[in-house]
Structure 1
């Protein structure tokens, strides 16, 4: 209806659409009219509801929904039909099936959430992404198929003996040689779970705050493929006509390309240098933002290390982008010291944890 109204058409008198509707819905800075894409908005709102289901604790509203319509079975981070699905409301069906329709390339929500195991009482051993960010069901499909404990929680998969945790797997049959090798690999992955203290919780991997953030997630996903509205990209799309207006907002000497803006600009390279020095590492100036990311991920081994460095990389890129916008739209002057301070504050929690990872 909105499309027909905007294009001046009607059911019996349809006008020619000279521009595709998805282009019309793009931001004005990208050559569109800034009309909101209702489908994208609805998906975002459904994602926020799914996040509330995950992170809302044991609220009575969750108990009522689950009692009426059924759990998101076997794990609520997966899209799928819950028990009691047939009698569910349209809203709950949409929340349940978010990201699983045929036109969606991947389940973007499930890819973005990570389970943090505390006591193991609320985490599915096979279905929740509590090790390496990937469900063990996906990583070890063969072992999952022969397991008698497919629906068990982490805490149900073993027991404490003399102060040490021992896994107690039950199989439908005797494992083959190949399956035994897979089991050894699995044991090396799930070695030494704490299963003490805090309650199990969910986190959003695309934001340093570990909570769902649409803006920062969008920037991180688009920066890697150069789909950010840098001045160079705006010049390519003829949103900016004069090449002089496409120069870097910080130095004003080079074209504002994605790698220049986030890495190689003289002002920004000092930010990365100062940040690495603050973290206690030597910095070798790379030529692209993807190279910086790879450098961060190479600083430590293991999922926990990589996640920590990834969060600091996210915080730094986000701070640079926000400062760039302040320079352009608010006419503010941003110093290297201010940028480094902003990143340091946002990454303080990660810095504390990193001290125990080295």
Structure 2
């Protein structure tokens, strides 16, 4: 934090659990006779109740000679620091475009994977870990810096290899595209957070904070450097970015271009009218989908008060509120028709005693949230249709079923036809011995997902047993996973593909799942085998 000794230092000493003081050292010699630098640390200790650890403190010089920096460190009894330095885990002063800046984050991700190396985690468990751990680790970095494309690909690669290869990773088959994995569950994906969209959503929060009332120090500094418009306007598409602007500021300004053909950020922020004293009538989007200057450019060019506030155009006549305009000349007939249209648009305007404020239109309460921004951007980027309406409905029931997560994940793969059947392995060029495409349950038929789980004679016998047991014609996830496990046992472990045994396994698994997941009265296994419907209705 830069401290000017022309101001009151105590205004800047509430820095929480840590602080950074900086000043021009050459000027400090002549301007700090009554305020030596050690007194700053004393003031900080008095104001915050915390104690400065001199042995952990460092002094970084900006445009200061090495000789003076060494002398200052000797005087303050602290070490010589260097830029970049770490503060709360973030590399302050580092170039976010360089890979070295992000290397600690990548090492942290790899380290977490190593801690699970000796554990077996199913596909369903890996999905949970990616969302809860691997996607949560970069959040702090992404809140302040835009992740370069190269780093983002490396993070996605770590997540992708963990999803399909387990904790040991490796070059495994990626059965589903990562863009599909990042879709919402209701749209055929796994609900894994897209790193790129998370980064954009977190950075968008800074744009929202610029518009909020108050003048915190960071906001004052940015306004002094880049202009007051950052706290007054939502559309920055036409704002010129200075050549000397920081990489962080360029990334903040580029948020408007995240979605092609539209300014998503400006369109998502509206103005809620209060007393009308802080809202510009013509240039602020407060009524309609665009500023009135864009809706009525002719009237805007004729107005005498182009920078006037809404309250300046409002007039009260008796108990009614109207609108008063001042033009630089008399209007033509067709221009008067424009005024009539303008008054019609302004008719729903309602004033109040509160101050005007910005609202986030993607949230019902008008407050910005990273989640609402993420969901909006995900819909904008999510153009591919993975499943039709019937497939999405089936998938919705599967996600709500009491089955374990690994079985639900397998059912998701099956609906997308992305399981390692012999037919799919041949399509991906995987060498197979003997007859590469033959089904293990019946000779001479190609092993596809539909054939293996529905039309194979052995599979139909399994379904027949289940239908007799349930008394209804339904397909449930336990049947699918048990069929596939029996197929793998027959193929790789010299097991038998016995429909009767498979049906008995399905009864046992469904009974265990129902006791663990479904809220019902406990029932004995023999009761479950006799009439599962009666057990579920208790």
Compute the TM-score of the two structures, normalised by the length of structure 1. 0.52
Preserved CA contact (<8 Å) 1:120 1:155: yes
CA RMSD of aligned residues (A): 4.7
Q: CA deviation at 1:164?
A: 4.9
Q: Distance in 2 between matches of 1:147 and 1:23?
A: 50
Aligned mate of 1:41, from 198, 204, 209: 198
Aligned runs of 1:1-358 on 2, under 5 Å? 1-2=150-151, 3=153, 6=157, 23=179, 26=182, 37-54=194-211, 56-60=212-216, 61-72=218-229, 75-82=232-239, 85=242, 87-100=244-257, 104-160=260-316, 164-191=320-347, 193-216=349-372, 222=379, 230=392, 232=394, 237-238=416-417, 331=517
User: Which shows bigger deviation, 112-121 or 142-151?
Assistant: 142-151
The alpha-carbon deviation at position 21 of structure 1 amounts to 8.0
| CA distance in structure 1 between the aligned counterparts of 2:334 and 2:256, rounded to whole angstroms | 34
Once the two structures are superposed, residues 230-279 of structure 1 have per-residue CA deviations (whole angstroms, 9 ceiling, x without a partner) of 454757534697799xxxxxxx9999xxxxxxxxxxxxxxxxxxxxxxxx
Give, in whole Å, the separation in 2 of the partners of 1:254 and 1:164: 66
Greater RCO (Cα-Cα under 8 Å, separation 6 or more):
1
CA displacement at 1:146 relative to structure 2: 3.2
Distance 1:63 1:33 in 2: 43
Provide structure 1 residue ranges, at least 5 long, that are not aligned to the other structure: 9-14, 245-251, 256-329, 334-358
Deviation at 1:59, TM superposition (A): 2.8
* 1:105-162 residue CA offsets vs partner (Å, 9 max, x unmatched): 3111221222111111221212323223432233323322433333222123344455
- Give 1:259's aligned residue: none
Bigger Rg over Cα: 2
Partner Cα distance (1:117, 1:23) in 2: 40
Aligned residues: 243
Query: What whole-Å deviation, never above 9, does each CA across 1:270-291 have from its counterpart, x for those lacking one?
Result: xxxxxxxxxxxxxxxxxxxxxx
Give the TM-score, by structure 2 length: 0.37
Contact 2:180 2:386 in 1 (8 A): no
C-alpha contact 1:128 1:136 (8 A) present in aligned 2: yes
- 1:33 Cα offset (Å): 8.8
Residues 1:239 and 1:123: Cα distance change in structure 2 (over 3 Å): farther
Native 8 Å contact 2:202 2:370 kept in 1: no
Is the Cα contact below 8 Å between 2:234 and 2:269 reproduced in 1?
A: yes
Runs of 5+ consecutive residues of structure 2 not aligned to the other structure: 1-149, 161-170, 396-411, 420-448, 455-462, 464-471, 476-515, 520-538
SS in 1 for 2:300: helix
